[in-house]
Structure 1
């Protein structure tokens, strides 16, 4: 259970705001939270279209209503673009990448019907490409959308997200500030929190996320803020606060899978492995996010339950194949998995490709680790330096750097980085934190 998402997910969030930070849900979420102006003909829900709700799932309900509406009005460009955005979000919330081709199809139709000033579809394409980890394309679409509508805060969110993942951190910060200026609220304050986190300013990151919680417009926004307040705490070694925030979020959003995963992570770090396995298993059964699957597998491995770990790793591999088949570019998560549990040469190939499409801090760390696993430690050290160049406090990055320095024979530097990893978060991973402690103890012995 590594700290792979600095909160990557934000790879997981901002779906509603929901998503690493991780990266796709975070990238799509502002669009969902801050609806753009729609044409009067576009239904807001199936009820508006004369149909029933769909199982209590608001997103599925919206998709059903839009599909019904479009059967009667197939040339409604705004409805098509809104449906495309919903498909992107549904892919994230269900971990089903088959929604991405559907999203591309309806967004392309929308742009063909309304060729001029169609900023909703342009923003939808930006969200789609970001979700598929095609960040250069996402940036191009976002810039085109902002050029059409420079007063829409959500568009600056997609612009900021693309700039962040492309390593253009000052441009990302400027876009986030513009977003805050236009509309201070959960989506913009959450991104401001992430800007601060990336530069290692945890007090500001926490304060901005607390403001996002205070400004939350509903249970989904509250759940998102609780999730990331917990992540900020956990990534600083505070297991109890992570657990408390997960529980608080689940009280307002009992069906949140991301908060269930957060609770599991805190339980594992607190030594309650039975509860952690149960919660991780429920999270994976609800939404087979590769991150959740890998965390469960590594928890099993840390407990010596090798067969069960391997079962999860096989599921992870299958999920990665499914994502790749639907146009998602594999990068840091896949590279780290192959480096730690699979094929070192494949890890390096994925990491090198990932750095080209997503030159973000995580990608530099993944490339550093893949290079180390392949015995290329000088180059690995340089990449590790790039991963830490913004000042981000990340235990996994320092753990990797410490072992790279150890391999190069720099015992003093290795001791410093391993100590830093365990100082930042002594429980950053049930599998690798013990290895960090063991390596540090060996380095303290006389050479």
Structure 2
């Protein structure tokens, strides 16, 4: 029976991949031909999307849109989140679908943001107006997610934000979106607490810092937060560098690190620039006492195969790590099945975020017994998912502030790369048996061991 279920899941995932390949192949054509809603009033727009979504449930399926950068400069980074979403949907459908809707199955419909705000907004409108989705999931890059968030507010369609952490996404009234995991302010707070704790153990261990970030909303917001937070705890910023997502040479940036020798480097880098930064640092023989990353490029499944043990000693902040499942024996099967479905790939923070976002939408469909977007949105915002819920892989309750949509229970933790694997190390109280935080982190580096 278990083998049969896995075969069904594998077939479902293959179909999803084929649909996605078709989407990417037609991305350029879709960008040119996609139509946007042309109704004259918001009331008419909302009524149209409501009618489409309601009819989607009538055919024994509920359509849910998935928006990620499948082409463009960040194409590699969304794969883990997408796999987490598809894994969750296959699990929901295998368990009988949405029981409150007579077993309706969830059907995913994909859109390509192309790492472009206009393209993302256009795709969101297409998924809502033409495909009749009841909800959207996405979009990884915070600037892109903000553009989609505006479209969802226009059409009154719920958005379960996935892997986007900018605080602007939860500032002020956000009536049609929710965040499940940590945001930038939580990351800054955790990094600063870490620095204070290291200084408490070894006075004066960290007195200077470097800030490296991408030149988008996410990177800029994190950089500004770090500067303010570091100032409050008395740490001097001696290097502050901003670079493009498609940067091809970081020699000048790393030269400044070599010259100023900051005790800690805080970085907000997507996959390509994170790989480039790591390789350039190793090539120039530089490593700080602590390399504090932001749950982005360094958690991509391709990062370690690309840089090997050169990342050992680095820290990454996240609301989740695979070690969490070790403290949840009844949920260990989630990570095991994921690895089996995806040829041994690790269940990353992005995979967990995708899984949780899809599960939140499914819970909303069950609670509200409706695929109509307004009703679904109200049901999602009223959820309270306890830590011991069978699918909740986070070590905290999932519930939402009614004004901002933020999950204020989210608690970031920090992992450290040890022997090419991320293990949870901070706060040290969460360390599993046999795992210890290593500081300075460079003691694990191949440069240090030579």
Q: TM-score range by the shorter chain?
A: under 0.3
How high is the TM-score relative to the length of structure 2?
0.25
Task: Give 1 or 2: higher strand fraction.
Answer: 2
